[in-house]
Structure 1
Amino acid sequence: MPLPPPVEREPLHTRYVTCNGYKRNDGLWDIEGELIDIKSFDLQVAERNDGVIPAGEPLHKMALRLTIDYDLNILDVQACMDYTPFRHCPQIADSFRKLIGHRIAPGFTRLTRELLGGTQGCTHLLEMLGVLATTAYQTTHNEREKREDFGAQGGGRPPMLNTCHTFDTRGPVVKQYWPQFSEE
């Protein structure tokens, strides 16, 4: 069901976040995200284009690539900031390499805030890490399901149990598809 019709309004800001997951030929995965912010009006910013970012030109255009293994260990991180409001912004991109050696697992959001929150990182790239973590799970899910046999007849405990309303072990979906893990 779509959102109800809005009242008359004027568009001012658009944020695009695109994430893609790739299986590499070497058995690893690349999880990439791009964030683009665009204004519908000319924006006064002292350090860009003679002080003005024209309507439709990105205020922000940034990207992150996480290279992970099957266990969601982060093996490499690349960050770039092609458009920023200040020339100083891109200097922080390499700080995201602090994630190398860590794992996407419960507590990942807290970890990223500890490592890259505040002045230790970029707010926009930090926000994107949560979506990239979800993209990593989605990208590796089919292979994980095959290897660990999460099907209804399989013995492996599906990792998504109790991660949202639908996968509540006291709910109808788990009862139907994974009755051996149902608490109902």
Structure 2
Amino acid sequence: MPLSPPVSRQLRHRRAIRAEAYERADGLWDVEACLTDEKPRDVVLASGVRPNGQPIHELWLRITIDRKLNVVDAEASSDWVPYPGLCQASNPAYRALIGLNLFHNFRRDAARLLAGTAGCTHLTELCALLPTAAIQAFAGDVWNTNEDTPGEAASSGTEQSRSKDSTDEHSKNKPPFQLGRCHALRFDGEAVQQFYPRWYGRAPYTADRAASSGDGAARQTGEGGNASGMNDGSGNEVQSNSQTEGNHA
């Protein structure tokens, strides 16, 4: 459903953000994010006049990841900036992303390492895009989103058959990782009922359900202690989007 028709207005600023993912010949993946800021007129900056048609910002951030979403390399480039020769000084700081994992507290750790004067405000903003961009890239290519969980490669033919035969009962009872992590894919929603009927109607994990399943152990909550697990009906807890980095908004 499109946005409602706007009132009469005039464009004053355009920010564009895009992300692209590439599978490399060496088996790793590159995820690149770019942010641009432009104004449809000449702009007077502290460093001088920026003519119409030239961006105020054009910033690039690239990370290289393995199939487990570990960051093995990172680099930043500031091609257009309001303070030429000065803004670029923070680019090397983004190598601090190396060693982080996109699926485990990546945004929190990136902010801790690069917030404020440690980095560039807008390059650090781009970090927030990387987890879901990588997950979208892996879905259907590295991961089979019909049944597999993160880290399990999609396969076909006899290879897929062998993989399914060797999967233990615990793994077979795990729902596709994308379920229960957004409004549309909630376990009691129409999308799950229509496209994933096996998993429709899963109830929120509660202490009563833990006791009845014989699993009364305390569950560790995610950041901020705001966890709400989902039980898949066989004693397996399915983490909600508040616990899993790759699905934060």
1:59-81 CA distances to partner (integer Å, 9 max, x unpaired)? 00010111000010000001100
Length, aligned pairs only: 180
Equivalent position SS for 1:58: coil
- Tell me by how many angstroms 1:105 deviates: 1.3
Corresponding residue number in structure 2 for 1:165: 183
Change (3 A) 1:145 1:178: farther
Question: What is the TM-score of this pair, normalised by structure 2?
Answer: 0.66
For structure 1, the residue ranges without an aligned partner over 5 or more in a row are none
Equivalent position SS for 2:88: helix
* Alignment counterpart, residue 60 of structure 1, candidates 54, 57, 61: 57
Change (3 A) 1:21 1:85: same
Equivalent position SS for 1:82: strand
User: Runs ≥4 in structure 1, deviation > 3 angstroms?
Assistant: 148-151
CA distance in 1, matches of 2:104, 2:182: 13
- Tell me by how many angstroms 1:46 deviates: 2.7
Corresponding residue number in structure 2 for 1:149: 148
Q: Is the 8 A contact 1:157 1:181 kept in 2?
A: no
Q: Is the 8 A contact 2:180 2:187 kept in 1?
A: yes
**What letter matches 2:132 in structure 1?**
T
Corresponding residue number in structure 1 for 2:115: 117
Task: Tell whether 2:19 aligns with 1:19.
Answer: yes
Task: Tell whether 2:202 aligns with 1:183.
Answer: yes
- Tell me by how many angstroms 1:16 deviates: 1.3
Equivalent position SS for 1:144: coil
CA distance in 1, matches of 2:185, 2:117: 37
* Alignment counterpart, residue 124 of structure 2, candidates 104, 123, 126: 126
Change (3 A) 1:117 1:178: farther
CA distance in 2, matches of 1:97, 1:178: 44
CA distance in 2, matches of 1:38, 1:93: 21
Q: Is the 8 A contact 1:38 1:59 kept in 2?
A: yes
Q: What is the RMSD of the two structures over their aligned residues, measured on CA atoms?
A: 2.3
CA distance in 1, matches of 2:110, 2:96: 9
Corresponding residue number in structure 1 for 2:29: 29
Larger Rg: 2
- Tell me by how many angstroms 1:106 deviates: 4.4
**What letter matches 2:106 in structure 1?**
F
1:115-147 CA distances to partner (integer Å, 9 max, x unpaired)? 11111111111111122221111111122117x
1:78-130 CA distances to partner (integer Å, 9 max, x unpaired)? 11001100131110011111010010014222221111111111111111112
How do 1:75-86 residues align onto structure 2 when only pairs under 5 Å count? Answer: 75-86=72-83
CA distance in 2, matches of 1:83, 1:104: 27
Structure with the larger RCO, 1 or 2 (CA within 8 Å, 6+ apart): 1
CA distance in 2, matches of 1:175, 1:110: 33
Question: What is the TM-score of this pair, normalised by structure 1?
Answer: 0.88
Structure 1, 137-146 or 86-95: larger mean CA deviation: 137-146
